[in-house]
Structure 1
Amino acid sequence: MASSDITEREGESRETAPSFGESMFALWQRTARRVARYMPKRLYARSLIIVIAPMILFQSIVAFVFMERHWQTVTMRLSAGVTRDIAAIIDMVETYPPGDNYANAIRIAQERLGLKVDLLPPDPLPAPGPKPFFSILDHFLSQEINRQINRPFWLDTVGNSNVVEIRVQLQDKVLRVFARRSQTYASNTHIFLLWMGGTSLVLLAIAIAFLRNQIRPILQLAEAAESFGKGRPMPSDFRPRGADEVRRAGKAFIQMRERIERQIEQRTAMLTGVSHDLRTILTRFKLQLALAGTKMDTKPMEQDIDDMQSMLEGYLAFAKGDASEDTGFFDLEEFLGKLEVEAKLRKRKLTTRLSGRPEITVRPIAFSRLLSNIVGNAFRYAKKVEVTAVHSSGSLTVTVDDNGPGIPAERREDVFKPFVRLDEARNQDAGGTGLGLSIARDIARAHGGDIKLDGSPLGGLRAVIRVPA
């Protein structure tokens, strides 16, 4: 292989290999995504973490510094002081002759030093006991005895006893000393920890109370926006409150809602006027046709007028959208019963299933039109129709399956556009306006939901209606 080829391949590998900075950035992104996956999603929980995490970190650092510096330093000094007292007693015992001096040394140790001292026969020291997993007392006391006395010794610091036993091997005897644990060990550490934990709980309670008051206006604003998106009236107790930024957001939402409602009212009023004028003209046409009598064949003109009136009603229904209707209860079970009657009149096979509560809170007239448009479209082009309604977890899902000709996958979104008709047998008949599915989707979205089309297990079309309820 030529050297130039090797050089080119090495250059390509250097170009394609990621740099150290890019690798670290990719690792940071993956770690951040994993952490974000387990982080709480609600604002209240995240705000609590923002308050609690720094407090816990700060207290952890303070506790570590306290344990590392204060607790260990105090324990070391106390152990050194007790060891000096024991060393002084040993010097007294070994310097002065036996007899009353032993009794004086024992008395001085008990009265002046707070130590209980005994002189035992020169028996061997007990075997070393199990060392505690974590005991700075055992460590520092052993260290000080080795440094100041430097003789064989035995310690018993294990357990919850308030007494520490120390035995030191002398030349012809064994010195046994009982010292209070508080003399050798900083035993008041728990008081500091209790104070730190107690004050933390009090501060957390205050912070939680303030956070709850600050989060509540945001939650109310979100509830009002969600109600508006579902076509429901704004909560009666909603008003801008809380921090200045939240108040500004609440006022902006109220103004936006009022502007949208005024726009809808203006559009509805305009369409009502247009409808009145067009209906007047159509009435004149009918009157002129009636006066014409039998002089001419008026059936084609009458059919054209009926078609114009049907189209006009469809346009108005699409543009109006029933935005002014108030929300109320809609009985799904009763509506499914009406569909069964309609199926018998049309000589169609209809199967209905209802799961969950039959009552839902929607705009009843508009929602009835939504379901009627979807099911009526299925009746028009299929012989067998299945309607399944599932009401659970605050949402309603209505699935309409049929065995009709269906709609190609690439055209399923087109049929929701106004005035769009398919060339083949699906969508609207020759006298329709192409607005049935558009009206149905607008009503579903006005309730905060949507309509999706898919292939049906029956061989035709499946329409899935999902709305919060």
Structure 2
Amino acid sequence: MIILQCVLTYVFMERHWQLVTTRLSTALTQDIAAIVELHRSYPGRANDDILARIAQDRLKIDMEFLPKGELPPALPKPFFSIVDGALSNEIKRQIGKPFWLDTVGRSSFIEIRIKLEDSILRIVALRNAAYASNSHIFLLWMIGTSFVLIVAAIAFLRNQIKPILSLAGAAEAFGKGRDLDFRPRGAREVRQAGYAFIEMKRRIERAFEQRTAMLNGVSHDLRTILTRFKFSLALISKTDETLDLQKDVLEMQHMLEAYLAFARGDAGESTAKVDMEEFLEDLRLDAERAGCDVQISFSGDPIVAVRPNAFKRCLANLISNAQNHGKRIWIEAVRDLRFLTIHIDDDGPGIPVDRREDVFKPFVRLDEARNQDEGGTGLGLAIALDVARSHGGDISLSDSKAGGLRATVRVPV
């Protein structure tokens, strides 16, 4: 629209305005040329007076003959004046005598002086006699209508963009595991996209529900079998073999719980606002009861919306991993306007840079890695990463200032 207005303005200025001004300047110059010719053909003071009266009455031009002399110094050319250029060209073409022109001295008039053989002809004419003075009205209308159209277009676009932003917000909230009341509105195409998103959301939730139901059934059946094993072993007299079998059954139970926790993820849990300072304090107490020294620092607003149980499992797995390979743990949490960032540092041996991505893979253990905990399943860090990503965040590993490993959890708030 702006480009169109610029093109129209250029065409108007170059074609219409300049053409009209040139024609008016031509007509005014023709009148002046006629006065010069009549003065030359009918000299005399009486004839000059008659000529001045006719010019005033019929042509609306004030004229007088000044004594013979030199023309005033030329005035600086205005930066942008169509009438100045048009009049100068026409006087040179039609009259061909030395002249002096002032188109800016008095806003409503134009003064022209032409050097004749016996005198200087001074002409004062109305500016609109040589200039399309009402053209600015067209420009004002053009600017005014453009402004109104731009305001209307902005209002229309805002109404069209709002449903798109609402859809984007719903998609982002769903990606973070939050439930947002979303109703498609706006243009037909935007509504279609909104309904498609709702249908996709329902299918994903249905798939989660089916997977959760299946896992619950599997876990129930497997727990039943393990319970039978426990009862059977309890009825058998205690020997070294039965004690080893009981340990194997307990290990199988722990492995089963870990596998199901990883496969189930945090499906079905709702988002809730928690006090992250108290949240971390509970984790600190759990770690200290296990015999580890933990220090915590927190800055920012402590109220954060997360899935409490899943997020606790994420941080507990990271703290447990640090606890297994270090004696001291430092937890630093920072909440800003966009993210919650939690650093978990330890003084353990650390992990080589080229193997840090591998520890997040399910069932992966490094030969000399810190996550090779005895009796573990190799799923602790994988579960932690899965929970962080389900909150729209991520986990990264780096070197700790304490000499061990730093695990950084960063989730949007």
User: Which among 33, 40, 48 is matched to residue 94 of structure 1?
Assistant: 40
Give SS of 1:462's match. Answer: strand
**Pair 1:425–1:172, CA change in 2 (3 A):** closer
Aligned residues: 413
User: How many Å apart are 1:162 and its aligned residue?
Assistant: 1.0
1:369 equivalenced with 2:313 (yes/no): yes
Cα distance change of structure 1 residues 462 and 295 upon mapping to structure 2, 3 Å threshold: closer
192-201 or 340-349, larger mean C-alpha shift? 340-349
Q: Which residue of 2 aligns with 1:403?
A: 347
- 1:105 maps to a residue whose letter is L
TM-superposed deviation, 1:141: 0.8
How do 1:161-200 residues align onto structure 2 when only pairs under 5 Å count? Answer: 161-200=107-146
Structure 1 stretch 384-393 or stretch 265-274: which is displaced more?
Answer: 384-393
Q: Aligned to 2:324, what secondary structure does the other structure show?
A: helix
Note if contact 2:100-2:113 (Cα within 8 Å) is conserved in structure 1. Answer: yes
Shift of the 192–377 alpha-carbon distance from structure 1 to 2, 3 Å rule, reads same
Q: Tell whether 2:93 aligns with 1:138.
A: no
1:129 to 68, 72, 75: 75
Q: Distance in 2 between matches of 1:275 and 1:328?
A: 27
CA contact (8 A) 1:381 1:425 kept: no
For the 8 Å contact 1:155–1:165, the answer to whether it is kept is yes
Find out whether 1:275 has 2:219 as its counterpart.
yes
Distance 1:230 1:183, change over 3 A: same
Supply the AA of the counterpart residue of 1:77. R
* Equivalent residue in structure 2 for 1:426, among 355, 370, 391: 370
SS of residue in 1 equivalent to 2:251 = helix
Matched AA of 1:168: I
1:117 aligned residue (63, 76, 95): 63
TM-score, reference length from structure 2: 0.94
Matches of 1:60 and 1:263, distance apart in 2: 56
Q: Residues 160 and 95 (structure 1 numbering): CA distance in 2 closer, same or farther, change over 3 Å?
A: closer
Q: How far does the alpha carbon of each residue in 1:420-463 deviate from its partner, in whole angstroms, 9 at most, with x for none?
A: 22222511421111111111111011111111222223222121
**Partner SS state of residue 424, structure 1:** coil
For residues 129 and 309 of structure 1, what CA distance do their matches in structure 2 show? 103
Q: 1:160 to 1:265 in 2, by over 3 A?
A: farther
Q: Secondary structure at the match of 2:246?
A: helix
Select which of 231, 239, 245 maps to 1:301: 245
- 1:107-161 deviation per Cα after TM superposition (whole angstroms, max 9, x unaligned): 1111110111122222321111112222222211111112222222111112561
The aligned amino acid for 2:64 is: D
* Cα distance, 1:344–1:295 mapped onto 2, change above 3 Å: closer
**1:312 and 2:256 are equivalent in the alignment:** yes
426-435 or 290-299: bigger deviation: 290-299
Q: State the match for 2:198 in structure 1.
A: 254
Q: Give the Cα separation in 2 of the matches to 1:87 and 1:162.
A: 22
Matches within 5 A, 1:53-64: 55-64=1-10
In the TM superposition, what is the alpha-carbon distance from 1:312 to its structure 2 partner?
Answer: 1.7
Q: Is the 1:331–1:359 Cα contact (8 Å) retained in structure 2? A: yes
Between the aligned partners of 1:105 and 1:451, the Cα distance in structure 2 is 98
1:212-260 deviation digits (Å, cap 9, x = unpaired): 2322222222111111111111x21x22333333333222222221111
Counterparts of 1:92 and 1:178, CA distance in 2: 18
* Contact 2:212–2:267 (Cα < 8 Å) also in 1: no
CA displacement, residues 154-196 of structure 1 (integer Å, 9 cap, x when unaligned): 1111256111111112233222111111111122221121122
- 1:291-319: per-residue Cα shift (whole Å, max 9, x none)? 33557864323222221221221122111
User: Which residues in structure 2 correspond to 1:190-269 (within 5 Å)?
Assistant: 190-233=136-179, 235-236=180-181, 238-269=182-213
Closer/same/farther in 2, CA of residues 355 and 159 from structure 1, 3 Å limit: farther
Provide the TM-score with structure 1 as the length reference.
0.83
User: Is the partner of 2:158 in helix, strand or coil?
Assistant: helix
The amino acid that maps onto 1:388 is E
Of 76, 79, 84, the residue aligned with 2:22 is 76
Aligned partners of 1:246 and 1:262: how far apart in 2? Answer: 24
Partners of 2:19 and 2:199 in 1: how far apart?
A: 66
What is the rounded CA distance, in whole Å, between the counterparts of 2:262 and 2:291 in structure 1? 29
2:72 counterpart letter in structure 1 = P
Q: Is the 8 A contact 2:25 2:87 kept in 1?
A: yes
Partner Cα distance (1:175, 1:217) in 2: 73
Matches within 5 A, 1:284-299: 284-293=228-237, 298-299=242-243
Moved more, 325-334 or 89-98: 89-98
Q: How far is 1:95 from its partner?
A: 2.7
C-alpha separation in 2, matches of 1:345 and 1:425: 25
Contact 2:67-2:119 within 8 A present in 1 as well: yes
CA contact (8 A) 1:165 1:179 kept: yes
- Among the aligned pairs, what percent are the same residue? 59
Give the superposed CA RMSD.
2.0
Q: Is there any run of 5+ residues in structure 2 with no aligned partner, and where?
A: none
Q: Which runs of 5+ in 1 are unaligned?
A: 1-54
